[in-house]
Structure 1
């Protein structure tokens, strides 16, 4: 359940950041079809995906997702989350910008309402009162169902809640932090407890550390030519190798894939509702979907928690 909204979501949130980047339109459709057939219903995108790719301008992921929704006529079967603040034409979180960006996302997605709308990155140049009011206007207009926060510090999350309560605005129900087995400190040092206090549903992104926790990058040579080499490369180390060894031992014993175990570990952590993971092809999906079903023993979860403690501490 997504906070207090009554919105039911699957235990794996499909990241749509590959759509229009490493997955073309047809492949993206195949991934989406397979994800839905496998029991998934929760899709995460952003208006800026994938502006970083040469020749793209932002919104490619939303456009592909919107075309798929229209072609399959299955809007009622999926929960859509998208974000605002990073599109090249809609930078920041001013009231005017939030409204214009939401309209653009709705057009690209070909929907009348966004289920979960995140403030993607904090905008300290805009008064937070203005941003909170802008999101509330979208709620009241029926253009979004629920509010989420992504990449916000604990202090700014608390401030958002204080403003929302004081003004009678809708409270955020979801939080999207960078969190996984090898990147723990940022979330665990304060944000996790705040999420518990406020009842926030947490959807961690980079749940597989850009492919590192899938065992794809064990040596520096494995990074050559990889689209995510810059992100995954920082985990290639002795301590990272120990994490992979533990993951692999558990996966082999349980006869599942390493990504399945990494996602299952996240689901043992407080407030985690649905880790976000993307699949470039349908072949990658089964291991991800299995992560929403596997329940680790306390012993295996503790072993992973212990071995990953050295990564950032």
Structure 2
């Protein structure tokens, strides 16, 4: 178990991504995945109010609804649910009134009294940050939210959020959710991790497996013939440099009898301030690799080898 920043939340060191629920996993498949995750020791689920509004016929909130129905059906103990606000078609942005309405809607879909971890999904510079910080602080004061967090914020804006929260005496953020993985490193390592270290924030990275590329399934830059909706997102990483990362993961994983995916997650967990990478599963068969990635401990030399093979400079790309 790992603690999320300065919060009271101790979680399994891998978060199950809920973005596929109501998209590539229907209700029954989602229930099966959730069951397998919890049966294997998992207790941390990540979703957002916008999942999965991009699917034809969906309105947004489908993932939360499925998770809420699963929670009501299974009544699991100790499960931590994180969700987010700002992108739902009916609740766009981070104005105070919108944040409150969106949180209440999420609570209704999830069927819970309190959101364990509530993220500002994307920065909204059309709203004064003081207003957003105050709105999140009020949710905590009113008992609707236990902990607040930010996702896709720059280091400068995270620092500003913390300064405002301290000055006004409201709840401080405990976590930050950035796009971070072995083939997408520099910005997070150079700007976000130092801020997280300074303020005691836990990192909960998304795209931990680079849209599936870091499972080793996509070794061609041509997504043709791939049936997964994520194939094009993964294929862009299938460069010479990207495939060297896959080869290194495969070699290191073999020494532990672990998959490429599990090894990639283990590398991410070894990075400073990282609490729990987020990874999703469409099927029960994909869950064991995620659970293994939460338990695999790489040696310092193995981490260093992966650091080396995945390092790059902005001028070279």
Q: Is 2:206 the counterpart of 1:220?
A: no
| 1:179 paired residue number | 180
> Shift in Å at residue 222 of structure 1?
4.8
Q: Is 2:160 the counterpart of 1:146?
A: no
C-alpha separation in 2, matches of 1:54 and 1:121: 23
Instruction: Quickly say closer, same or farther: Cα 1:45–1:311, change in 2 above 3 A.
Output: farther
What is the correspondence of 1:219-298 to structure 2 with a 5 Å cutoff? 219-222=220-223, 224-298=226-300
Q: Is 2:69 the counterpart of 1:67?
A: yes
Q: Any idea what SS the aligned residue of 1:138 has?
A: helix
Contact preservation (8 Å) 1:182, 1:311: no
Unpaired segments ≥5 residues, structure 2: none
| 2:161 paired residue number | 160
Q: Any idea what SS the aligned residue of 2:279 has?
A: strand
- Give runs of ≥4 in structure 1 deviating > 4 Å: none
Give TM-score, length-normalised by structure 1: 0.97
Contact preservation (8 Å) 1:45, 1:61: yes
CA RMSD, aligned part only? 1.1
Q: How many positions carry a matched residue from both structures? A: 312
Contact preservation (8 Å) 1:46, 1:59: yes
Give TM-score, length-normalised by structure 2: 0.96
Q: Is 2:196 the counterpart of 1:195?
A: yes
| 2:16 paired residue number | 14
Unpaired segments ≥5 residues, structure 1: none
C-alpha separation in 1, matches of 2:75 and 2:128: 40
Contact preservation (8 Å) 2:6, 2:201: no
Q: Any idea what SS the aligned residue of 2:11 has?
A: coil
Q: Any idea what SS the aligned residue of 2:184 has?
A: coil
| 2:119 paired residue number | 118
1:302 corresponds to which of 299, 304, 307: 304
Q: Any idea what SS the aligned residue of 2:147 has?
A: strand
> Shift in Å at residue 157 of structure 1?
0.4
C-alpha separation in 1, matches of 2:83 and 2:274: 18
Instruction: Quickly say closer, same or farther: Cα 1:311–1:291, change in 2 above 3 A.
Output: farther
Contact preservation (8 Å) 2:15, 2:277: yes
